[in-house]
Amino acid sequence: MTTPNIYQKLQAVQTQIEELEKSELNKFQNYKYFTEYRVLKLLKPLLKEQQLTLTFSDSAEEFLYEKQERDYLVRYRKQAILTNSEKPNEQIIYHFWALGANQDPAKAKGAAETYAVKYFLQKLFLIPTTDNLDPDSK
């Protein structure tokens, strides 16, 4: 039996993943969203089953940190590496931006990280989202 390659494993995860409901409510701006925890809860068992490892790192060369009026703006590039654990030389490398703003620079970086990673995962693994406000969800 042949071990599936990394693209076949990625396809298996994309095919098996369930929809993600936007169940959290932002009371200030009145919209629903999903958390990073919910994405990871859906993904981790499928990654384990397919023996895929996902790692993240930040690019120090492309890190922007500046004060704009009251908030700090943080912008940097992230790298994600999807690795076939059965054949570690099989990897897919992705680059994407993280952007956040807050009065506390650490919170700006945290917001950028959380937002960027959860939406990167949603797009990479083709996770459909739904909420009760979406007329197409019924």
pLDDT in tens, 66-77: 998 999 999 999
pLDDT of residue 110: 94
**pLDDT tens for residues 63-102?**
888 998 999 999 999 999 999 999 999 999 999 999 999 9
Domain ranges (residues) in the chain: 6-133
In this prediction the pTM is 0.85
3-state secondary structure the chain: CCCCCHHHHHHHHHHHCCCEECCEEECCCCEEECCHHHHHHHHHHHHHHHCEEEEEEECCCCCEEEEECCEEEEEEEEEEEEEECCCCCCEEEEEEEEEEEECCHHHHHHHHHHHHHHHHHHHHCCCCEECCCCHHHC
Class of domain 6-133: alpha beta
